[in-house]
Amino acid sequence: MANPSKSSFKLKVLYGESDEEVLASQAVSIQKAGHEVATAVGRKGVEESMRRQSFDLVILGPTLTRNDRHHLPYMVKKAHPGTRVLVMHADGGRHPQVDANIDTGRSIDDLLEKIASMLAEKVVVGK
């Protein structure tokens, strides 16, 4: 049986966190799921990465400040309107520039499933 965490579509992902250890461990898991992952530390790192290149998906992790998780989606969409944004946070609120969210504390498998469901939605919408 196929690995449900392994994607058949390869995304170019920017993953941002303020904690370098969390960033490193999560990025490896996202890469193992078949995606190309660039990492960024902190708000300035995410901003700099967005200036240098475009991505299919930007993941804003829970170790970023609440302020960063609120403001960065606007910056991502302004710089690259087609880029999808997934935010990991505890409040579950709906942000107008966020395409998906997942509660903090969820497993990496939950994150990978959310990414896969976003891909499935895009495929269905794109038909």
Q: How do residues 12-21 score in pLDDT, each as one tens digit? A: 999 999 999 9
Asked if residue 18 is part of any domain, the answer here is yes
CATH number at residue 51: 3.40.50.2300
pLDDT of residue 93: 59
Supply 41's token pair.
């530390």
How is residue 95 annotated by DSSP?
A: P
List the 84-88 sheet strands across, edge first.
36-41, 12-17, 57-60, 84-88, 100-102
Residues 49-67 have pLDDT tens digits of: 999 999 999 999 999 998 9
Q: How many domains does the chain have?
A: 1
Residue 3 lies in a domain: no
Tell me if 85 is assigned to some domain: yes
Q: Is the residue at 105 inside a domain?
A: yes
C-alpha torsion sign, points 116, 58, 124, 35: negative
Nearest alpha-carbon partner for 86 in 109, 66, 65, 103: 103
The verdict on residue 5 lying in a domain is no
The strand pair at 36-41 and 100-102 is best described as: unpaired
Range of the domain at 111: 12-126
Residue 4 included in any domain = no
pTM above 0.75, yes or no: yes
- pLDDT on residue 107: 84
Q: Is 105 left (phi over 0), alpha (psi -120 to 50) or beta?
A: left
